[in-house]
Amino acid sequence: MQTPVAEIGENVYSPRDRKDNDLAELVTSRCVLRVCCARLCRMASDGTALVLLHGLTWSGDTAWQELIPRLSDHHQVYAPTALGHRGGPSVQRRPVTMSDVVDAAEHYLDERGLDRPHLVGNSVGGYIAIELARRGRAATVCALSPAGFWSAGDGLQTEVFKVVHKNIASGRRFRPLAPLLFKSATVRRLGMRDAACHGDRMSAARIVAIADDGIASTAVADDLSASEWQIQPLNPLPCPVTIAWSEKDALLPVAIYRKNAQERLPQATFTVLPGVGHAPMIDDPALVARTILAVTGAAKK
């Protein structure tokens, strides 16, 4: 299988035989390989590509560290960073709209010759994955607690963005002390409680990086909170779609959003992931990996 060559700052992870420590080192590196020639950027098959789409105020670097080692033996894994986020493409005009964010994600696929990769998205990344599928750009979709299943006037979008803005403000306020504060497992768990049940399992350095991601994405968060957007009905589905909702999601509770999700995407498979929070790959990466590989069909091989 031909290995794609990545530009500096791009995260691409290939299925190769590696020792665990080599793979861990790869996951933590932003720079995989420098472009040598355009031909080497091609992949053996678009069907092997899997693109991970992170949630609002995170990044491709901070969201998927536990998951990538469990997926890269089965797929060519791409972990881009979204428009207006730290490490992602720069915003060219304000205000930023969700259409702009989806357009940027589609441009990422175009640049890498990924016609219809498997898509996995968490939160806003789940919204992006579903909208890319609507455009015919997905082989399969696995949406993890996707954002956007609110309705105009129900107040749910406003409530979600209150939490987002609160977390960004807290990150900015406590940033000078963050490396010291997050040495405490209790503080890590409390600081990540909107995203995970077990934030204490994360390193202090990683939570600081997530705080930096949030501070850097303030403008796009402001813009997206100021305009109404939602996932519109999609029936029939353009590809297989699984919505995997976190049982203990504090930000987007499954009890509130299940009905809209099942009504708007009636042909999608809907499942609840037990014992995990809004970013389930933090709490139970093995469960999330099994769920994704079942969707892509790699678990059967």
Quote the CA–CA distance of 96 and 253 in Å, as a whole number: 26
- Three-state secondary-structure class, residue 152: coil
Task: Tell me the pLDDT tens digit for each residue of 184-221.
Answer: 999 999 999 999 999 999 999 999 999 999 999 999 99
The closest alpha carbon to 135, from 143, 145, 127, 147, belongs to: 127
pLDDT tens-place string over residues 42-88: 333 334 899 999 999 999 999 999 999 999 999 999 999 999 999 99
pTM: 0.87
Using one digit for the tens of pLDDT, what is the confidence trace for 137-153? 999 999 999 999 999 99
- Give, to the nearest 10 degrees, the angle between helix 204-216 and helix 156-174: 120
Q: How far is residue 67's CA from residue 203's CA, in Å, rounded to a whole number? A: 15
What token pair was written down for 248? 């203990």
Mean pLDDT of the chain: 88
Predicted local confidence at residue 38, as pLDDT: 27
**DSSP reduced 3-state for 211:** helix
Predicted local distance difference test score (pLDDT) of residue 298: 85
**What is the predicted pLDDT for the residue at 76?**
96
Domain boundaries, the chain: 12-152+229-300
Instruction: Kindly provide the residue ranges of all beta strands, DSSP E only, lying in the chain, ordered along the sequence.
Output: 12-13, 49-53, 76-78, 118-122, 141-144, 241-246, 269-273
What is the predicted pLDDT for the residue at 14? 58
Q: Residue 10's pLDDT band (boundaries 50, 70, 90)?
A: low
Instruction: Please state which of the ranges 17-26, 118-127, 170-179 shows the lowest mean pLDDT.
Output: 17-26
Instruction: Say how far apart CA 218 and CA 212 lie, in whole Å.
Output: 10
Q: Give pLDDT, residue 300.
A: 73
CATH architecture, range 12-152+229-300: 3-Layer(aba) Sandwich (3.40)
> Residue 254: is its pLDDT beyond 70?
yes
Band (pLDDT 50/70/90 cuts) for residue 25 is very low
